[in-house]
Structure 1
């Protein structure tokens, strides 16, 4: 009988003397038809070996700020195969860890198998007990993990796409605050927020150490993207916000630590073998041949500092193709242009890159962006109006009020960067109309951020369907009064009011209109998108505690819908005798 998984295994502080050889992982990251990558954090400098049957692959750890990491590249796998694997650290078997879960396995992509992809965003790291579930709800990712572990026949996604706020650097739990207090005074800036690499490393440990989630991440490939809370609320909302942050004594250390740890813990595993080989930091790791462990601390910090000051120096966005499905994941935080007269969600180089990726010739085009491209119409018009206000449409005084509103109410999504919104909307319409290659069946934005879920559709007379699917939060629900406020601002009278405000500020009309077709709902959710003959099947799942069993929530379906592909029009001469055209 499998033992009952504990709610949390991470102490408020860690001690190298008591840490196990394997700190975090194994995490199964990028997987294609013939290769995979496995990421780990170890206690010491080590040789890490992944074994499957008679095959083995190894990597030496690299160091950063006293922590040790390895990414093991696995090659020569058969398409559509499933292989259990184990992990050794310095000759000691460290995985599986005897936690009562099924063996971890690598399932390579099968070119003939329809894609199944899970996605969601916004997940806080608090204990999975009665107290944590009372304040933050059941972790839907953990409920999903327990469901898969209990049913070996349950269909597993080919990828889990986490669209931001994997960790909350600015809103910390009591467990994280205990760790911070063991190192410095909470009365010193930045207080209860994260300050450096060491604190980020501990926050990732809190996020990924729960036994159920750890098992899931060892057997389900994952891709990730940051949003603001991975660094700080409203990250790069405006030039005013950025100047305020840079005036503090702690910001530069924070952004360097945040981007550095993001590269190590999240981004490195996003890359395919070919793209990883082009990465300058990975090239340094791969080229190291000395007997001593490579210490990447200085180079990682310099890289992160430059990536912040010169966004064009590094690209966090990426693209993966899965047979007839293309996934384009877009950075909407680090690559912004913040000049008031030329605000852009994406700067010039990033926009050019996205322009190159948005092409037809696939059945479904999926665009992953942490911030929803198609907000509810009322909220869209409100944010567009606010940008015009901030840009001085009615003078300097109202512009100051607009900037206060922008930062206070998080009015800094796609609609609040109209130059970028209009250009990307035009690109997407061209793809859907077949002007950029054969039109796909659907062009679908996958997003999070808002802490509620919904589906919207662009109103079109033909061509591919343009859709927006949102899944948020994975674990961080809005208080009930904020749910009412969000629904009112997005779907109530705000739609008409927002439109009038936008018109009064002479904001250009969007190139198309859209409407909600399902939602909103406010549960903690993890969504799954599956390619089916009719189009895309999207299902939202949540965790439910029954009979007080907080350690083993049941997975429950919240909503389900098929986003059907448009039916091709038929001319009378194509009609079959006896049937209506």
Structure 2
């Protein structure tokens, strides 16, 4: 078989009723053509640090259609590769059907290690791969409208042996930053490791995807505090890391997040589409300067985005890059980002979904501890207490929404006003979708009227907590931490949260991919994981870890997060058994 010039992709990104965006990385400057339904669309490549990319905008499709496609590079078919034995159905574009209820897959935290017995032993079975092999391959009717990756698509600071072999081939791994990523070239290789597996590659070629970064896309605790940032900036390698991380994120993840309309307004994309010289456009210097500016001035660029799926709105919020770290004005979102979110947190939808990599509603005990630690680090117990607070913040990852109380309270007010019908007709739910914490759960705000306010977490896709940490995490989050956390938060005069919430499902610690669907019965949720029969590690089966339906208010079920009758809950036998043991 002749080598293919296709390095990575095709990856199906933004899809609406009549258009689709298809992203590729190729081996050299080329013209990329997508063919579907006897039509074709094309784009020239642009280059960043020696890597060549194209995003082809496919337009004029029929709403509600499913169309197979192929990819050509300089006139030669590259996908599917000629002569290859078909392992999966043809890649296709399924355009949105107007009025069709949203079906969404989501999750976070996925490491890139081989899908072998050893890889599965250390990192668990890749839930996304198990879903590709079982949930979509043989049943296209169950295809989600979108898969939403809520952070840590790649781990720049915790690399696999394969990644370290690549690093050793180009620099001394004993010198800073060691086994962590150094520059754009290493990011490009890391994305290649993450997206090259045949099953995942096919899934990404046929299932529209949206993405947002979290800390490990750059480094653990990214933008936790002023002290953290000063420590990074004092190193010899941080400037290269942050520039390469944000530049590669724009290319590999963010470019495909944008709608055609928003992309047309993006200055870098304008440079790409308006380039008519014979030579390939080299964006290396321009993209590096952009990334440096985005880091130093978070208000200079918006990574967040918003999409409406008929009567469901999805807002994806950047909770990492837009932080204000000034000690006396800490905020998870800049003033500009807060105003942008505020403008989009409105009623008039059946469901308002807010995607944020960090859970907005942590388990209450953990929330109180983080709010206490923020006050401690701000000097509530003096200089010595401030040093202790900062040490705890970085050592225990205490830097979620709860550790930015000003932003937490501002968004809590937005959510409450939407749920109370003060920003237009109240939706059925205001639901935060998150990852990051390496366990999954569902929490609900205690309310007796208006919309349900929910927190739904799916984490990880493939990077489970070690078993020894699971019990301590559950205890810290759900047991003694609740009253203890509230007590210590009051000791430093942290105001009470604006509402109460409680856990209604979970936690569970499996590698998962979650599915959310708007149905006539309410919002249905399920968590899918992989399991291996015998030694067949390359072909995991799919199993349901948990499932539930959040019914509409007034349906006869109990409000405010109290347990619904069993008729409202569908769960696998394994889930029922685990729930019984927790009691």
Bin of the TM-score, shorter chain as denominator length: over 0.9
**Where do 1:231-310 residues align within 5 Å?**
231-310=218-297
1:70 counterpart = 2:54: yes
Q: Deviations over 1:329-382 (max 9, x none)?
A: 000000000011111010111101010110001000000000000000000000
Residues 136 and 143 in structure 2, CA contact (< 8 A), matched pair in contact too: no
Cα offset, 1:389, TM superposition: 0.2
Give the equivalent residue in structure 1 for 2:44.
Answer: 60
Matches of 1:102 and 1:152, distance apart in 2: 10
3-state SS of paired residue (1:502): helix
Answer yes or no: is the 8 Å Cα contact 2:374–2:404 preserved in 1.
yes
Output one character per residue of 1:495-534: Cα deviation in whole Å (capped at 9) or x when no partner.
1100100111110111100000000000000000000012
Q: Is 1:27 equivalent to 2:11 in the alignment?
A: yes
Q: Which residue of 2 aligns with 1:460?
A: 447
Corresponding position: 1:364 with 2:351: yes
Task: Report SS of the residue matched to 2:441.
Answer: strand
| 8 A Cα contact 1:102 1:149, kept in partner | no
Structure 1 residue 148: deviation in Å?
A: 3.7
In 1, Cα distance between equivalents of 2:316 and 2:554: 28
Look up the match of 1:511: 498
Q: Is the 8 A contact 1:30 1:223 kept in 2?
A: yes
Establish whether residue 404 from structure 1 lines up as the match of residue 391 from structure 2: yes
Correspondence for 2:371: 384
- State how far apart, in whole Å, the 2-side matches of 1:95 and 1:568 are: 49
Partner of 2:576: none
> For each residue in 1:519-568, what CA deviation from the matched residue of structure 2 results, as whole angstroms up to 9, or x when unmatched?
00000000000000122100100000012110000000000000112118
Q: Is the 8 A contact 2:135 2:542 kept in 1?
A: no
Q: Which residue is 1:227 aligned to?
A: 214
Q: Secondary structure at the match of 1:85?
A: strand
**1:157-187 superposed Cα distances (whole Å, 9 cap, x missing partner):** 0000000000000000000000000000111
Corresponding residue number in structure 2 for 1:200: 187
Aligned-residue CA RMSD (Å) = 1.0
CA deviation profile, 1:207-263 (whole Å, cap 9, x unmatched): 000000000000000000000000000000000000000011110000000000000
| Kept in 2: contact 1:148–1:154 (CA 8 A) | no
Verify the 8 A CA contact 1:101 1:149 in the aligned structure 2: no
The whole-number CA distance in structure 2 between the counterparts of 1:481 and 1:367 is: 32
Q: Does the residue aligned with 1:444 lie in a helix, a strand or coil?
A: strand
Alpha-carbon deviation of 1:301?
Answer: 0.4
CA displacement at 1:272 relative to structure 2: 0.3
CA distance in 2, matches of 1:174, 1:20: 26
Aligned to 1:536: 523
TM-superposed CA distance for 1:96, in Å, is 1.1
Say which SS state the counterpart of residue 142 (structure 2) adopts. coil
Matches of 1:128 and 1:217, distance apart in 2: 17
Q: Give the drift of 1:19.
A: 6.5
Unaligned runs of 5+ in 2: 557-583
Other-structure match for 2:568 = none
Aligned length: 552
Q: Is contact 1:380-1:415 (8 Å) kept? A: yes
* Whole-angstrom distance in 2 between the partners of 1:304 and 1:33: 32
Compute the displacement of 1:53 (Å).
2.0
Task: Quote the Cα distance in structure 1 between the aligned partners of 2:30 and 2:482.
Answer: 58
Question: Is residue 150–residue 356 contact of structure 2 (8 Å, CA) maintained in 1?
Answer: yes
Aligned to 1:152: 139
Q: Does 1:469 align with 2:456?
A: yes
Task: Give how far 1:149 is off.
Answer: 4.9
> Contact 1:19/1:43 (CA < 8 Å) preserved in 2?
no
Cα distance in 2 between the residues matched to 1:343 and 1:290: 46
- Aligned twin of 1:44: 28
* 2:544 maps to 1:560: no
Q: CA separation in 2, counterparts of 1:456 and 1:258?
A: 33
> Structure 1's 306 and 522: CA in aligned 2 closer, same or farther, altered over 3 A?
same
Aligned position for 1:8: none
Aligned partner (choices 322, 326, 335) of residue 335 of structure 1: 322
**1:86 partnered with 2:70:** yes
Task: Report what 1:13 is aligned to.
Answer: none
1:501 to 488, 494, 516: 488
TM-score (norm 1): 0.94
Q: Tell me which of 185, 210, 228 is aligned to 2:197.
A: 210
User: Which secondary structure does the structure 1 equivalent of 2:191 belong to?
Assistant: helix
Confirm whether residue 139 of structure 1 aligns to residue 139 of structure 2: no
Name the SS for the 2:468 alignment partner: helix
Shift, 1:492, TM fit? 1.0
Q: How far apart, CA to CA, are the structure 1 residues paired with 2:144 and 2:555?
A: 30
1:165 equivalenced with 2:149 (yes/no): no
Judged with a 3 Å threshold, the aligned counterparts in structure 2 of structure 1 residues 93 and 513 are, in CA distance, closer, same or farther, namely same
Listed as ranges, the gaps of 5+ residues in structure 1 are 1-17, 570-581
After superposition, the C-alpha distances for 1:4-42 in whole angstroms (9 at most, x for unaligned) are xxxxxxxxxxxxxx9630000000000000110000000
The one of 333, 341, 346 aligned to 1:346: 333
Q: Is the alpha carbon distance of 1:19 and 1:381 closer, same or farther for their aligned partners in structure 2, counting shifts above 3 Å?
A: farther
Matched with 1:311 is 298
